[in-house]
């Protein structure tokens, strides 16, 4: 109930903030162009609500509200509870690059898909913190898991589970919404408790919070995490990209750089998911479209919020915005996840799955 009240409150505040006016740009910067091919229940998806997407070579996994879908050789296959999946709604996905195993976080437990077999872990048969698994990340022999009741780690070599919550880490709230693990550090996105950092070398936890203490107006622009309600985190090239429902942050281990609609190319401050490409480039999945940042300029891909027609806009460093002619767009403007297949992108949305096929700009 408390979680639902927070969501309603945030939605109301966000709606009141509005979006900035659009200015014209005479010479827009060169940004990636895509031809979008969209997939829905009409052509194979088990459900149009796609929470997560994972690229596994030529195989594409989509976590939907009604099963785990696999796209391979032009065909769809669906895994559900009768196949051993912990629960129908698949919220998160991760790939173990050493073994090829796929890990799926669901509303009812954590599942491993390995060689066609599915094994599931729950609170009752394992050390999983909670059966609602919002995020999963594999690093080496460890599987790191973000749940509705804190975080946990499964050591694949020993089978040992370690639990992390308000009793042994700095987190205050225990809703862990996302996790991104690397050999040096592991980051957790904690709803209402900021960004949690675990140093793998020193075994020390640290916490980064909004310096104005969750005030809905940002008072200290680049002095810390933009907001304590963190929805996801992506740690790549020693940079933590952090999404919240009131803007986004980039943290290099020393300095913060925050992004909001009023001074960036974000189409909305309400960001569900962020995925870094490298230290300078990142993708942001918002409730009003997909945004790409190249370290200087921004591009947004979405069906128009007013007409539903394909739309692409580009914002340069000076704040000038241009409309770029396009004929295709992602299937829905409510974005929930993204992954990369070479220069192509795959996007999870509330209305289906979209494949952005990279094209040279005309």
Confidence of residue 25 (pLDDT cuts 50, 70, 90): low
Task: Report the percent of the chain where pLDDT is more than 90.
Answer: 88
Mean pLDDT of 345-355: 98
SS3 356: strand
Confidence of residue 22 (pLDDT cuts 50, 70, 90): very low
Per residue in 107-160, pLDDT (tens digit) is 999 999 999 899 999 999 999 999 999 999 999 999 999 999 999 999 999 999
Category of 81 on φ-ψ map: left (φ > 0), alpha (ψ -120 to 50) or beta:
alpha
Per the listing, tokens 């709604």 go with 89
Confidence of residue 27 (pLDDT cuts 50, 70, 90): confident
Contact (CB, 8 A) for 143 and 111: no
In this predicted structure, the answer to whether residue 216 has a pLDDT above a threshold of 90 is no
pLDDT for the residue 217: 64
pLDDT for the residue 212: 80
Per residue in 85-112, pLDDT (tens digit) is 999 999 999 999 999 999 999 999 999 9
Could you name the CATH architecture of 37-288+324-359?
7 Propeller (2.130)
Contacts of residue 36, defined as CB under 8 A and 6 or more positions apart, other chains included, come to 301, 310, 328, 329, 330, 331, 354, 355, 356, 357
pLDDT for the residue 205: 97
Instruction: Write the DSSP symbol of residue 82.
Output: G
Largest CA distance in the chain: 61
In this predicted structure, the answer to whether residue 15 has a pLDDT above a threshold of 60 is no
Mean pLDDT of 162-171: 96
pLDDT for the residue 218: 67
Classify the C-alpha dihedral 229-261-289-180 as positive or negative. negative
pLDDT: is 18 or 66 the higher one? 66
Closest CA to 337 of 121, 94, 161, 97: 94
- What's the rounded Cα separation, in Å, for the pair 232 and 230? 6
In this predicted structure, the answer to whether residue 310 has a pLDDT above a threshold of 60 is yes
Per residue in 236-254, pLDDT (tens digit) is 999 999 999 999 999 999 9
pLDDT for the residue 3: 46
SS3 266: coil
In this predicted structure, the answer to whether residue 19 has a pLDDT above a threshold of 50 is no
Per residue in 269-307, pLDDT (tens digit) is 999 999 999 999 999 999 999 999 999 999 999 999 999
Beta-sheet strands, E only, within 83-193: 90-95, 102-106, 109-114, 117-121, 133-139, 142-147, 150-155, 161-164, 176-181, 185-190
Buried b (16+ CB within 10 A) or exposed e, 287-298: bbbbbbbbeebb
Confidence of residue 222 (pLDDT cuts 50, 70, 90): confident
Per-domain residue ranges of the chain: 37-288+324-359
SS3 121: strand
- What's the rounded Cα separation, in Å, for the pair 151 and 167? 12
Closest CA to 71 of 83, 55, 51: 55
- The torsion angle over the Cα atoms of residues 164, 168, 174 and 176, rounded to 10 degrees, is -40
pLDDT for the residue 116: 86
Contacts of residue 313, defined as CB under 8 A and 6 or more positions apart, other chains included, come to 22, 265, 267, 299, 300, 321, 322, 323, 324
Contact (CB, 8 A) for 247 and 205: no
Closest CA to 263 of 248, 278, 273, 274: 248
pLDDT for the residue 20: 44
Contacts of residue 99, defined as CB under 8 A and 6 or more positions apart, other chains included, come to 114
Mean pLDDT of 191-211: 96
Per residue in 352-361, pLDDT (tens digit) is 999 999 998 6
């Amino acid at each position: 109930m408390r979680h639902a009240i927070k969501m309603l409150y945030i939605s109301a505040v966000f709606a009141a903030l509005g979006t900035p006016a659009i200015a014209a740009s005479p010479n827009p910067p060169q940004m990636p162009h895509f031809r979008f091919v969209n997939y829905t229940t009409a052509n194979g998806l088990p459900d149009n609500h796609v929470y997560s997407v994972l690229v596994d070579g030529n195989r594409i996994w989509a976590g939907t509200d009604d099963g785990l879908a696999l796209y391979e050789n032009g065909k769809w296959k669906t895994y559900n509870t009768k196949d051993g999946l912990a629960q129908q709604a698949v919220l998160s996905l991760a790939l173990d690059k050493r073994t090829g195993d796929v890990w799926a976080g669901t509303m009812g437990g954590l599942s491993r898909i390995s060689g066609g077999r599915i094994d599931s872990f729950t609170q009752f048969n394992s050390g999983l913190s909670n059966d609602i698994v919002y995020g999963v990340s594999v690093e080496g022999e460890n599987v790191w898991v973000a749940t509705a009741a804190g975080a946990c780690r499964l050591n694949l070599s020993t089978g040992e589970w370690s639990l992390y919550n308000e009793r042994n880490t700095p987190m205050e709230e225990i809703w862990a919404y996302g996790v991104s693990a690397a050999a040096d550090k592991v980051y957790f996105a904690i709803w209402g408790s900021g960004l949690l950092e675990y140093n793998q070398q020193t075994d020390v936890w640290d916490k980064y919070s909004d310096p104005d203490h969750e005030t809905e107006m940002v008072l200290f622009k680049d002095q810390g995490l933009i907001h304590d309600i963190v929805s996801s985190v992506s740690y790549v090239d020693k940079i933590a990209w952090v999404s919240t429902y009131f803007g986004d942050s980039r943290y290099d281990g020393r300095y913060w750089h925050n992004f909001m609609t009023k001074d960036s190319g974000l189409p909305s401050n309400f960001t569900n998911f962020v995925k870094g490409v490298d230290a300078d480039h990142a993708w942001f999945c918002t409730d009003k479209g997909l945004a790409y940042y190249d370290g200087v300029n921004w591009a947004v891909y979405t069906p128009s919020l007013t007409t539903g027609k394909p739309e692409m806009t580009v914002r340069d460093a000076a704040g000038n915005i241009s409309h770029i002619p396009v004929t295709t767009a992602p299937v829905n403007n409510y974005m929930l996840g993204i992954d990369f297949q070479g220069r192509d992108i795959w996007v999870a949305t509330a209305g289906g799955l979209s494949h952005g096929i990279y094209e040279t700009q005309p």
